[in-house]
Every structure is written in C-alpha cells, then in structure tokens.
Amino acid sequence: MHIAITGNIGAGKTTLTQMLGQHYGWEALYEAVEGNPYLADFYKDMERWAFNLQIYFLNSRFAQVQRIRSLTYSTTIQDRTIYEDAFIFAKNLYDSGIMTQRDFDTYLMLFDTIIKAVQPPDLMIYLKADIPKLVHQIKKRGRDFEADISVDYLQNLNNYYEQFASKYDHGRMLVIDVNDMDFANNPDDFNSIIEMLNKELFYA
C-alpha cells in the first residue's frame, strides 16, 4: 500500500511519518527539505526563487512516486504528496503574486504531464492544525530558513489545505485534528492515531 501524510508546514508530517514507519515496519519517504538547494533562498526572496523551488519539489516527488510503484511487495508511507505541490503551494504562490503567470503556466504544463503517470495513495492522512499550533511547532524545531515564515503565509496555506481536503476525490482521506495532540511525546495521543488508522486500514 501507499500511505501519504499531508498537512501544512509544522503540522507534524515528518515526525508522524517516521513514527508510523517504525510502528508498522513501513518504508518511509521524506520530503526533500534537508539539502534542498533552493529552500533557504526562497524564504529570503520568494519572487526570485518560487519557480525553481516548485520545480525541484515536483521532480523530487515524482521520483518518490516512481520508487513507490517499484516497491511492489511493501507498504510505503510518504511525507507530503505531489498533489500539494500544485494545488496548494504553487497555486498559493501564483495567487499571491509571487509566481508569475508565465512560470505558473509552465509549471502546470509540467505537472499535468507528470500526473498522468501517477497513481494516488491508497490512503491520505491529513493533519489539520491551526496557526498557533503550526507556529509553535516551527519555532520548536528551529530551522534557520523557516524563521522568517509569516503568519499570513501559513494562513493562506491553511486555507488552501482546507479547500484541498474538502474536494479531494482521488481516494480515501483520514482527517486528524492535531491541535490538542502531542503524539511525538504523549503515547496516548500516538495510540489514538494508531486506532484511527487501524480502522481505516483493516476494517474499512
């Protein structure tokens, strides 16, 4: 199976991907954040680097999907999906005037070509978090390149995530409100996620 975790910056996707991978013995694939050659530059000058960053992420995600398809006999859990690249991040950059019409059109042409060769996840897990939770998590992990992320930027992304979740029709989606959760440090919170996930995986 292909399980994917979606959610805004700071929602806890990477941590939960790691924890679920360990719990179930799944192979975990992570977003290309560490070592990404554009991310730090993007947060300093979004207009200059928006297109470059989105192309990098799109290519990275497509490579992950190809790898997932090659792993015929194992279950994979993926940190963020290719759908978010286009429907949330690139769209937000375009609607905000950060990405030009020309770059957005070029990006969508490439995305439309790639998506024809992509199969959706068997299950999408959406980690729903409000701005205070996201800001707290971002500050807690202390990545230098995320220090200048604005609340307005996070709120815009949250709005797009809500739209994406409400219209998602590519397969099953499990929505988990993580505002009052600390699954990384509280075993009860993590166990509640396991219970919800087991119902989706084994009893749906």
- Ordered by where they begin, the domains of the chain are 2-202 (3.40.50.300)
pLDDT confidence of 204, banded at 50, 70, 90? low
Q: Is 144 a catalytic residue?
A: no
User: Which of 170, 172, 2, 171 has its CA nearest to residue 73?
Assistant: 2
Question: Does residue 89 register a pLDDT over 80?
Answer: yes
Work out the average pLDDT over 29-39: 79
**For the chain, percent of residues with pLDDT exceeding 90:** 60
Least confident of 31-40, 81-90, 123-132: 31-40
pLDDT computed for residue 74 by the predictor: 81
Question: Does residue 201 register a pLDDT over 80?
Answer: yes
Q: Tokens representing 204?
A: 């749906």
User: Which of 127, 137, 179 has its CA nearest to residue 4?
Assistant: 127
DSSP string, 128-146: E--HHHHHHHHHHHT-GGG
pLDDT computed for residue 182 by the predictor: 93
pLDDT computed for residue 72 by the predictor: 67
Please answer whether residues 152 and 158 qualify as being in contact, where contact means their C-beta atoms are separated by less than 8 angstroms: no
Per-residue pLDDT reduced to its tens digit, 161-194 = 999 999 998 889 999 999 999 999 999 999 999 9
Distances (CA, A) of 161 to 18, 96, 107, 175: 22, 15, 19, 11
Distances (CA, A) of 165 to 31, 56, 161: 20, 24, 6
Work out the average pLDDT over 3-14: 93
Q: Which of 79, 95, 152, 189 is catalytic?
A: 79
Q: Which residues contact 16 (CB under 8 A, 6 or more apart)?
A: 5, 125, 127, 183, 193
CA dist., res. 31 & res. 119, Å (int): 18
Mean pLDDT of the chain: 90
Backbone phi, then psi, for 124, in 5-degree steps?
Answer: -105, 130
Using the 8-state DSSP alphabet, how is residue 85 labeled?
I
Least confident of 3-17, 91-105, 130-144, 151-165: 130-144
Per-residue pLDDT reduced to its tens digit, 42-77 = 888 999 999 999 999 899 889 888 888 777 678 899
pTM (2 decimals)? 0.88
